[in-house]
Amino acid sequence: MLDQTVNEMTDDLVKLRQATAQVMASQKQIENKYKQAQQTADDWYGRAQLALEKGEDDLAREALTRRKQYQENADSLKTQLDAQAGTVEKLISNTRVLETKLSEAKRSEDTRLNSSHPSRS
Protein backbone atom coordinates (compact mmCIF):
# COMPACT_ATOMS: atom_id res chain seq x y z
CA MET A 1 0.00 0.00 0.00
CA LEU A 2 2.74 2.42 0.98
CA ASP A 3 4.75 1.40 -2.11
CA GLN A 4 1.84 2.38 -4.34
CA THR A 5 1.45 5.72 -2.55
CA VAL A 6 5.17 6.46 -2.95
CA ASN A 7 5.02 5.53 -6.65
CA GLU A 8 1.98 7.73 -7.23
CA MET A 9 3.58 10.63 -5.37
CA THR A 10 6.76 10.19 -7.43
CA ASP A 11 4.72 10.27 -10.65
CA ASP A 12 2.87 13.37 -9.44
CA LEU A 13 6.17 15.04 -8.61
CA VAL A 14 7.52 14.36 -12.10
CA LYS A 15 4.35 15.82 -13.64
CA LEU A 16 4.51 18.85 -11.36
CA ARG A 17 8.13 19.49 -12.26
CA GLN A 18 7.29 19.20 -15.97
CA ALA A 19 4.40 21.64 -15.60
CA THR A 20 6.65 24.05 -13.73
CA ALA A 21 9.27 23.88 -16.47
CA GLN A 22 6.63 24.54 -19.15
CA VAL A 23 5.19 27.52 -17.29
CA MET A 24 8.67 28.92 -16.69
CA ALA A 25 9.50 28.58 -20.40
CA SER A 26 6.26 30.34 -21.28
CA GLN A 27 7.07 33.05 -18.75
CA LYS A 28 10.46 33.61 -20.41
CA GLN A 29 8.81 33.95 -23.84
CA ILE A 30 6.31 36.48 -22.50
CA GLU A 31 9.12 38.37 -20.78
CA ASN A 32 11.05 38.60 -24.06
CA LYS A 33 7.96 39.80 -25.94
CA TYR A 34 7.28 42.35 -23.19
CA LYS A 35 10.82 43.74 -23.34
CA GLN A 36 10.64 43.97 -27.11
CA ALA A 37 7.25 45.76 -27.07
CA GLN A 38 8.44 48.14 -24.35
CA GLN A 39 11.63 48.92 -26.29
CA THR A 40 9.64 49.58 -29.47
CA ALA A 41 7.26 51.87 -27.56
CA ASP A 42 10.25 53.76 -26.16
CA ASP A 43 11.75 54.03 -29.66
CA TRP A 44 8.52 55.52 -31.03
CA TYR A 45 8.47 58.00 -28.14
CA GLY A 46 12.00 59.06 -29.09
CA ARG A 47 10.90 59.50 -32.70
CA ALA A 48 7.98 61.64 -31.56
CA GLN A 49 10.31 63.89 -29.56
CA LEU A 50 12.65 64.21 -32.54
CA ALA A 51 9.76 65.09 -34.83
CA LEU A 52 8.59 67.77 -32.38
CA GLU A 53 12.07 69.24 -32.19
CA LYS A 54 12.04 69.48 -35.98
CA GLY A 55 8.59 71.07 -35.92
CA GLU A 56 6.94 68.14 -37.69
CA ASP A 57 3.77 67.91 -35.64
CA ASP A 58 2.03 65.42 -37.95
CA LEU A 59 4.93 62.99 -37.75
CA ALA A 60 5.07 63.46 -33.99
CA ARG A 61 1.36 62.62 -33.69
CA GLU A 62 1.80 59.52 -35.85
CA ALA A 63 4.79 58.42 -33.77
CA LEU A 64 2.81 58.91 -30.56
CA THR A 65 -0.07 56.87 -31.99
CA ARG A 66 2.29 54.02 -32.75
CA ARG A 67 3.92 54.38 -29.34
CA LYS A 68 0.50 54.08 -27.73
CA GLN A 69 -0.19 50.82 -29.63
CA TYR A 70 3.10 49.26 -28.57
CA GLN A 71 2.73 50.53 -25.01
CA GLU A 72 -0.73 48.98 -24.71
CA ASN A 73 0.72 45.70 -25.99
CA ALA A 74 3.60 45.96 -23.49
CA ASP A 75 1.18 46.68 -20.65
CA SER A 76 -0.93 43.67 -21.59
CA LEU A 77 2.16 41.46 -21.70
CA LYS A 78 3.27 42.83 -18.32
CA THR A 79 -0.09 41.83 -16.83
CA GLN A 80 0.36 38.32 -18.26
CA LEU A 81 3.92 38.22 -16.95
CA ASP A 82 2.83 39.16 -13.44
CA ALA A 83 0.10 36.49 -13.47
CA GLN A 84 2.58 33.93 -14.78
CA ALA A 85 5.01 34.80 -11.98
CA GLY A 86 2.30 34.04 -9.43
CA THR A 87 1.60 30.71 -11.10
CA VAL A 88 5.30 29.80 -11.08
CA GLU A 89 5.55 30.65 -7.37
CA LYS A 90 2.55 28.42 -6.59
CA LEU A 91 3.94 25.54 -8.66
CA ILE A 92 7.33 25.78 -6.96
CA SER A 93 5.67 25.91 -3.55
CA ASN A 94 3.51 22.89 -4.38
CA THR A 95 6.57 21.04 -5.64
CA ARG A 96 8.38 21.64 -2.35
CA VAL A 97 5.37 20.45 -0.35
CA LEU A 98 5.11 17.29 -2.45
CA GLU A 99 8.86 16.67 -2.16
CA THR A 100 8.56 16.88 1.64
CA LYS A 101 5.58 14.52 1.73
CA LEU A 102 7.33 12.08 -0.60
CA SER A 103 10.44 12.15 1.55
CA GLU A 104 8.33 11.45 4.66
CA ALA A 105 6.53 8.59 2.90
CA LYS A 106 9.85 7.05 1.82
CA ARG A 107 11.17 7.30 5.39
CA SER A 108 8.00 5.60 6.65
CA GLU A 109 8.42 2.88 4.06
CA ASP A 110 12.10 2.38 4.99
CA THR A 111 11.18 2.23 8.68
CA ARG A 112 8.47 -0.33 7.97
CA LEU A 113 10.81 -2.45 5.85
CA ASN A 114 13.63 -2.27 8.41
CA SER A 115 11.34 -3.20 11.29
CA SER A 116 9.93 -6.22 9.42
CA HIS A 117 13.44 -7.51 8.63
CA PRO A 118 15.49 -7.38 11.84
CA SER A 119 19.21 -7.28 11.26
CA ARG A 120 21.21 -10.41 11.90
CA SER A 121 24.16 -10.18 14.24
Q: What string of H, E and C letters represents the secondary structure of 47-86?
A: HHHHHHHCCCHHHHHHHHHHHHHHHHHHHHHHHHHHHHHH
pTM for this entry: 0.75
Query: pLDDT tens digits, residue range 1-31?
Result: 678 888 899 999 999 999 999 999 999 999 9
The radius of gyration of the chain from alpha carbons, rounded to an integer in Å, stands at 27
How far apart, in whole angstroms, are the C-alpha atoms of residue 57 and residue 62?
9
How far apart, in whole angstroms, are the C-alpha atoms of residue 20 and residue 87?
9
pLDDT at 5 (0 to 100): 85
Query: pLDDT tens digits, residue range 67-85?
Result: 999 999 999 999 999 999 9
